[in-house]
Amino acid sequence: MSDSRNELLAGLFSGSHRALRRYVRRLVGSRETAEDIIQEAFLRTYEHADRLKTPRAFLFSAARNLAADSRRHGRVAKTDSLGDFDGSGVVSAGESPEGQVLRDERARLLRDAIEHLTPQRRAVFALKVFHGCSYKEIAQRLELSPKTVENHIARALRETHEYLRQRY
Cα–Cα dist 97/88, whole Å:
13
Secondary structure of 50-116 in the HEC alphabet? Answer: HHCCCHHHHHHHHHHHHHHHHHHHHHHHHHHHHHCCCCCCCCCCCCCHHHHHHHHHHHHHHHHHHHC
> Within 13 A of 154's CA, how many CA atoms are on the CB side?
6
pLDDT (0 to 100) of residue 46: 80
Q: What is the pTM of this model?
A: 0.43
Which residues, including other chains, have CB under 8 Å from residue 109's CB and lie 6 or more apart? 163, 164, 167, 168
Pick from 17, 133, 154: nearest CA to 65: 133
Which residues, including other chains, have CB under 8 Å from residue 147's CB and lie 6 or more apart? none
Pick from 21, 58, 76: nearest CA to 137: 58
Phi-psi region of 117 (alpha: psi -120 to 50; beta: other; left: phi over 0): beta
- Enumerate the CATH 1.10.1740 domain ranges in the chain, comma separated: 1-81
Pick from 51, 58, 60, 47: nearest CA to 19: 60
Which has more confidence, 73 or 85? 73
Pick from 19, 15, 14: nearest CA to 64: 19
pLDDT digits (tens, 9 = 90+) for 24-52: 888 888 888 888 888 888 888 888 877 87
> Residues 47-66: what's their mean pLDDT?
85
Fold of 1-81: Rna Polymerase Sigma Factor; Chain: A (1.10.1740)
- Enumerate the CATH 1.10.10.10 domain ranges in the chain, comma separated: 97-168
pLDDT mean across residues, the chain? 79
pLDDT (0 to 100) of residue 147: 92
Domain 97-168: state its class. mainly alpha
